[in-house]
A and B are shown apart, each in its own frame.
Chain A
Amino acid sequence: MGRFVSNSPGLTDAPSFSGCFHCGLPVPDGAHYPIQFEGQTKQTCCRGCQAVAQTIIDSGQGAYYTHRTALPATPQQAEAELAQLGLYDLPEIQESFVRVEAENIREAALILENIVCAACIWLNERHIAALPGVLSVEINYATRRARVRWDNSRIQLSAILKAVSDIGYIAHPFDPGRSDDIYKRERNTAIKRLAIAGLGMMQVMMYALPAYTATDMTDEIRLLMRWASLILTIPVVGYSAWPFFIGAWRDLKRRTLGMDVPVALGVGTAFVASVYSTFSGHGEVYYDSVTMFIFLLLTGRFLEMNARRRAGAAVEELVKLIPAATTRLPNWPSRDEEQVPVARLAVGDHILVRPGETLPADGRVVEGDSAVSEAMLTGESLPVSKSVDAKVVGGSLNQASPLVVRVDKLGADTRLASIVRLLDRAQSEKPRIGQLADRAAAWFVGLLLLITVAVGLAWYVIDPSKVLWIVVSILVVTCPCALGLATPAALTTATGRLTRLGLLTTRGHALETLARATDLVFDKTGTLTHGRLSVRRVVPMNGHSASEVRAVAAALEAGSEHPIAKALREGVALTHSASQIRNTPGRGVEGSIDGHSYRLGSPRFATASETPPAPPASDSGGHPKDGHKHPESGHESWVALADESGLIAWFALADTPRADAAASLAALQQLGLRLHLVSGDAEGAVRATAQQVGIADWHAAALPEDKLAYVKSLQQQGRIVAMVGDGINDAPVLAGAQVSIAMGEGADVAQAAADMVMLGSRLATLAEGVALARKTQRIIRENLGWALGYNLIAIPAAALGYVTPWLAGIGMSASSLLVVLNALRLSAFRQPADAPSAKAQVSVMQSHVPGI
């Protein structure tokens, strides 16, 4: 990691073609991972990208680089996950998602992660199909799901999954299950209804147009066209519009007024009136208006359904699917660990649950002392403290320190249940502005019905022969569908666009609040920086050796997912075993090894004193002489290790800011957002990062409660705060801010508490997200304004009898169409003057590849 460090302020100002050949992120100064492609030497940004690019080129699929239209994510090396792949070969596990065809022929469904463009699909298809033993592979572009058939005697499923991860993607087996079948059926029905409505509309238009324009048409032809239109409209009203009638009936039964009521009423009245005039031979027909109305509404609903489904599917992929694995301690009380699938757990087993992990089953704590969040189950956001003998519930999240739990009850699918809850939340929560539009629509509908009745009565007195036509005119010309489509059309388009940008919305209100946000508060580790710390220096004290203190530190951190813990464990063999480990989030960890108790963490925590000792020589916190002697010291933060007698070692840990951080934050500042950096790290490290990325307002050594207090104080000043964080210690702040964004690589807890999840690691998506959210807000207002303004003019005109039927039809269709087209402008959204965007980089890189 050492050579990633750079003090060059112009790091991100480098021209975009210097980006990594594989993932497009800027190549850090000093990084040297070359790759040969079509006779040219290209630079990649890290070992991971280099390995992936090499695999792709070596297997003869280099064409991927010339065909792709979006950049992939930087490959992550998740050794733990790779180690778990073997589990998928066990027959018990395969039972739930593998279909056995013949003796050795198996078929499984996989979800692919990191697919960004068509070339990814092509690459994966080719790569998997080329494996000996794979019989067929089929990838659906829209759902990013693959179906693989293989010969089990020649290749194992884990080898297929491994091959996918070799080229930088992640494949998870999943159980297509019931919800998928239901969705497929629903979508199919929607397509059929849409097809019937579309065909009917087009053909009825063909008959309607000459009826409006031709002057020399005989009455027989006119009658024939009316009958033909009637025949075509019957299936459209009876089959395609069926959902609206059902919806209206449901609304009326619950005594509410939804959008379906005027739709059903308008369609019904116009259709019945047209049928009456067709049979009686006088009056106007509205078949064209009816069919067009239904077709437009169905199109809107179909698009909405797809967007909702896509958002839901992304959430489903985030939460890691079946079969979840867990750490079992088979020979408890000895501490041997083994990874087993949750399905294989038995009552009475002992399991180790690390901080950040979800409890796989109900049970009782046997060892450890921790805080557990049951928010997913109870909605209670404060963690509950659990110590020995406390009952824990499957699906809750361990937040503080490792717990050993004896399994009491195996809830059928606890993990799956929590997935369902997450999904439900994403899909059912309506944004406030959406609810507002719904309420407004209900009022509008009520008012409209009243006006219609009043106008009808008035015309009954003036001229009874015109009553029916005027009433139908009002119902057709007023456009409840423009009003009803205004918000959902914009929101679903924006959500879809955001997801493609890499920002996943998991709570309904997020988009709206993000648009109004005035302040952006960042965590440092894992958010502005890579979050992959490494130990730069070890300073042992009091006669201890470096390897000795490192072993102690590794043992203390053995159970933790925190980046500092990972860094301290890195490259150290586990020779000791610590017990009574207790983790205090944001401060440190304590535990005992061979009868000695140790404290590891911030200087204040480790020595348990209010006046912490100063770290050795090079901490830049307030010592101006530093920074010259150790050029990298600005990034270092110090972790102290102490035993009963006092301090025994210092560890210097370093992390580097994400390469695109400075440019992205500048873009955010241009949008008028105030930026803050609040971190639990030491002052020197925080200041260095703040200076590098250009944040003036930074606060170091903040405990989780300090962070929350800071956000609260901003809120009291009337600011609307968006929090960006990744770690367990951020969970309370994320929950406390008005809108929160978690990093996709962060802890489960953080993601569960967040309103949005940033799937890639490109901070640039934040600025794009904010700009898009604001634009969405603007478009919703435009749409609502247009729909209301249109109705204010159209209703009086229709009530006075000035609106001819064909004018009513055109006005209605035009107003809906305008609303939908206006919303669709969001799907082509692209942040203007921004850091080099992904597409730009691709095109630049492609222009450097010969032979395109």
Chain B
Amino acid sequence: MDILILLIPLSLVLVGVIAWIMLWAAKSGQFDDLEGPGHSVIMDDDSPPKPDDTPRS
């Protein structure tokens, strides 16, 4: 049982780290579009490159 005395504060630190990550993610726009990226992964991108080779910035 004594190990809990170490583990409980450790869990608090872990939650703090996760919370910081979540807040960073919200701030940097990770939640702006919750549906699109899921779909765009599935779509194949197998067509030839653009004819004029314009760099897509």
Contact = CB atoms under 8 A, between A and B. Distances in A.
Contacts of B18: 199
A820 B2 CA distance: 41
A63 B44 contact: yes
Interface string B30-46: 01111110011011100
A139 B26 contact: no
Given A195-B22, A221-B1, A130 B50 contact: yes
A386 to B, nearest CB: 47
5 contacts: A63-B44, A118-B43, A133-B54, A142-B32, A192-B26
Closest 7 CB pairs of A and B: A118-B39, A141-B36, A195-B22, A141-B35, A122-B43, A140-B33, A191-B26
Contact of B19 (A67, A133, A184, A195): A195
A700 to B, nearest CB: 48
Contacts of A199: 15, 18-19, 22
Nearest to A224: B8
A225 B11 CA distance: 11
Contacts of A136: 56-57
A531 B47 CA distance: 40
The range of chain B's interface size is 20 to 34
B36 A118 contact: yes
B5 to A, nearest CB: 6
Contact of A141 (B31, B33, B42, B48): B33
A472 B57 CA distance: 59
B31 to A, nearest CB: 5
A132 B19 contact: no
Contacts of B44: 63
A141 B39 contact: yes
A231 B8 CA distance: 12
Contact of B40 (A121, A129, A203): A121
* Residue picked from B18, B23, B39, most chain A C-beta under 10 Å: B39
A788 interface: no
A546 interface: no
Contacts of B32: 140, 142, 184
A760 to B, nearest CB: 20
B8 A119 contact: no
A140 B47 CA distance: 22
A104 to B, nearest CB: 13
Given A118-B35, A188-B27, A217-B1, 5 more contacts: A61-B47, A142-B33, A142-B34, A200-B15, A207-B8
A32 interface: no
A132 B52 contact: yes
A231 B40 contact: no
Interface residues of A, number: 44
A196 B57 contact: no
Given A130-B50, A132-B51, A142 B35 contact: yes
B26 A135 contact: no
A544 to B, nearest CB: 57
A804 B43 CA distance: 53
Given A132-B54, A224-B5, A228-B9, A191 B39 contact: no
Given A133-B54, A199-B18, A203-B11, A126 B36 contact: no
Interface in B5-20: 5, 8-9, 11-12, 15, 18-19
B8 A67 contact: no
A125 to B, nearest CB: 8
B25 to A, nearest CB: 8
Nearest to B15: A203
Contacts of A191: 26, 31
B19 A129 contact: no
Nearest to A137: B56
Nearest to A59: B47
A575 interface: no
A132 B50 contact: yes
Contact of A188 (B26, B36, B51, B54): B26
B50 A232 contact: no
A119 B56 CA distance: 21
Interface string A705-718: 00000000000000
Interface in A160-195: 184, 187-188, 191-192, 195
Contacts of B35: 118, 141-142
Nearest to A117: B39
Nearest to B50: A130
Contact of A196 (B5, B19, B50): B19
A60 interface: yes
Contacts of A192: 22-23, 26
Given A191-B31, A218-B1, A228 B36 contact: no
A252 interface: no
Nearest to B42: A67
Given A136-B57, A228-B12, A122 B39 contact: yes
A208 to B, nearest CB: 13
Interface in A112-134: 118-119, 121-122, 126, 129-130, 132-134
A61 B35 CA distance: 21
